[in-house]
Amino acid sequence: LKDLVGLCCSAMIVEAAIVLGSAAALAGAVYYECVTTIVLLITVLSSVTFFGRWLGGLVHFLDKSEQMFIKGLTDITVVNGPCVKIVNPLTCMNIAKKQAQMLGNLEYAVVMDVMSGKQWVEVGPQLLFLAAYDSIVNVSQGQTLSQTEYVEVTNQITGEVSIRKGPCVWFPSVPQEISQPKRQAVALQEDEFVRMKNVMTGDRWVQRGKTLLFLEPKWKKEGSVEKAWTLKSFEYVRLLDKVTGKVSVHRGEKTVFPGPDEEALDSGKQSAIDLKVGEYVRLEDQSTGEVRVVRGVNKVFLGPNDRMVDGGKQKAVHIDDEQAVLVRDTASGQLQLTKDKQLFVPGPNDKIEEVRQMIKLEDHEAMIIKDKNGVMHIHYGNTKKSSENLPRSFFLQPYDSVVHLLWSKGMRREERTLRIERFDLRPQYMWFEFDCRTSDNVELVLEVTMFWEVVELMTMIRCTGNLPGDIYNQARSLFIKRVAQVTLKQFMEQLHSIAGAIHTADPDFYVKRGVSILSLEVTRYKCAEERTSEVLQQIIEEATNRLNRLSQAESENEIKIFKMQGEIEQCKLNGDLLELKHAQAQEDARNVGAAEADCVSAFVQGLQEDVPKLEDRMMVWQGVRQTEAPQK
């Protein structure tokens, strides 16, 4: 109505303006009257407009989501839509329209009465209309909880803490309730458990599956979800009670859940010790210190206070002709070598110090053994060399040790790391090198080879612990002295004689060490300085070329001599051939004559009966020969 009145007044003003304009145009001459008329019309129109506006403020229209707050002289009145409200302007000081608060399915609002300070919660879905003195503190979302979720709620006034489980949508029942972020319940399977503690009372327990565990506010989960121990028939688990210190053993077949104060020893479940034939295990009772030995075939479950010693399961030792066992009695500390053929398993107080193999020496080998009194004995592979009649095959006895030497090695014998226990009595080959200088100040590097042989082993042991090092230093010293007395040219010419002199020099040095030097040769030498080495190389090349030329000339002479010898041999062979032919001709003639004589004799003897006289028979033969001659 107010808008309609205002619209009518506006139209009247427009029409009045048009009329006034027309009147002014028609009566432009009468200025004073026009002005008076205009002022009068404006006054009338203003009055009409004020009346329309005053009439429009008395009537109000509200839709479904609106409410109107009317402030009177002493109180506030609230009108909720939908409706039409006529207000008395004489008693109304202020009018305010507001939209009602729309709350969705997951929303809630905290409302406060500003006069009393009281607060409460309005939960959706709804269209919230406030009272005269109500105010919305905040609008929030509720928490959607699934079947496995829950939320912890704290009442800030009472301090009470509780939980709300899903499935649901949680809204605070009072404004003073606040919630923590939603949590997942602990899902335990049939073979799972979790350790729990009541923080108010200190009680502890184990929650087993199968269940869905919602933690109460005063509950605390200690650790993560763990698996119970499912034991087979050959498995076991040992549990230690941390409060009492008692250890319990559980064997299969079953599923074992620990107590609230129990924890597993040995890193969880263990398999029983499976002992087969020839196996054993040593167990110690830690409460008494007693040690026992269990032999196979057996399955061993450790007791509450048992522990394995010596590294667990062990193999028994097969004692035969080739193997023995050195055993120490831990009670008395004595050593004993067991050689009786058996499958040896040590007793509770026995400790296997060593499994000893039989020592077998070849014919050319020897070994030095030191007994418990420090006396050294030599075992020879060739028993004829042994003065003590010691065997060539033997076991090392208790408290005996093998004497070993550390010999030098390398071309210059700089490293003393070669460990020798078995001594080879055959002649041996050794090579080494060292530096020396001639009288004309040429530094040479000599490479020497030597054959040597140990002839008195005990003498060597008593005199030196590094025989190759001693031989090397002795040879080096002698070569330095000899080479320093000759020039390079003399050294090259007298090389073999110098080596021979050194070989035979100072024989007592080697005799005292029980060794014999069979041969010594310089196999190679070179100059240490590069320039000198080049000159020496040129000398060697020139000497080599000269030898090559001499060799070539000798070869040519040998070819000529060989050719002449060939011709001589050919002539000799021709003469021999003629002699052979002549001898053959004579032999053929003799054979023909003998055949002719045999033929005549046979002919004459064949006619002896018919022609008794020899002269007649001869005449007959001559006639036959004469008859045959013309035919030939």
Spatial separation of the C-alpha atoms in residues 346 and 317, rounded to whole Å: 9
Angle at 52 between CA 48 and CA 55, to 5 degrees: 135
Per-residue model confidence (pLDDT) at position 157: 87
Least confident of 74-83, 328-337, 438-447, 596-605: 596-605
Question: Is 21 within 8 Å of 13 (Cβ atoms)?
Answer: no
Q: Does residue 390 sit in helix, strand or coil?
A: coil
Q: Which residues pair with 292 in a beta bridge?
A: 283
Q: List pLDDT tens digits, range 422-443.
A: 999 999 999 999 899 889 888 8
Angle at 115 between CA 113 and CA 117, to 5 degrees: 55
Least confident of 129-138, 393-402, 600-609: 600-609
| Cα 395 versus chain centre, distance | 41
* Mean pLDDT (whole number) for 466-490: 92
Residue 39: band (very low, low, confident or very high) from pLDDT cuts 50, 70, 90: low
Q: List pLDDT tens digits, range 306-350.
A: 999 888 889 999 999 999 999 999 889 899 999 999 999 999 989
Least confident of 20-24, 292-296, 503-507: 20-24
| Cα 431 versus chain centre, distance | 43
**Against a cut of 0.85, is the pTM above it?**
no
| pLDDT over threshold 80, residue 241 | yes
Written as six digits, the tokens of 136 are 């919305």
Per-residue model confidence (pLDDT) at position 6: 44
Mean pLDDT of the chain: 85
Q: List pLDDT tens digits, range 515-536.
A: 999 999 999 888 877 766 666 6
Spatial separation of the C-alpha atoms in residues 569 and 97, rounded to whole Å: 157
Return the higher-pLDDT residue of 47 and 497. 497
Q: Which residues pair with 273 in a beta bridge?
A: 300
Spatial separation of the C-alpha atoms in residues 323 and 268, rounded to whole Å: 40
Written as six digits, the tokens of 361 are 């020496």
Q: List pLDDT tens digits, range 369-390.
A: 999 999 999 999 988 887 778 8
| Coarse DSSP helix, strand, coil percentages of the chain, rounded to the nearest 5 percent | 30, 40, 30
Written as six digits, the tokens of 560 are 């000529």
Cβ atoms within 10 Å of 175's Cβ, excluding its own: 19
Domains of the chain, CATH where assigned: 404-528 (3.30.479.30)
Per-residue model confidence (pLDDT) at position 123: 92
* Mean pLDDT (whole number) for 399-424: 92
* C-alpha separations of 372 from 78, 358, 390, 396 in Å: 119, 19, 17, 12
Written as six digits, the tokens of 489 are 């040219």
Read off φ and ψ for residue 42, nearest 5 degrees.
-60, -40
Return the higher-pLDDT residue of 56 and 321. 321
**Nearest residue to 404 via CA among 390, 423, 427, 379:** 423
Residue at 453: amino acid letter: E
Residue 33: band (very low, low, confident or very high) from pLDDT cuts 50, 70, 90: low
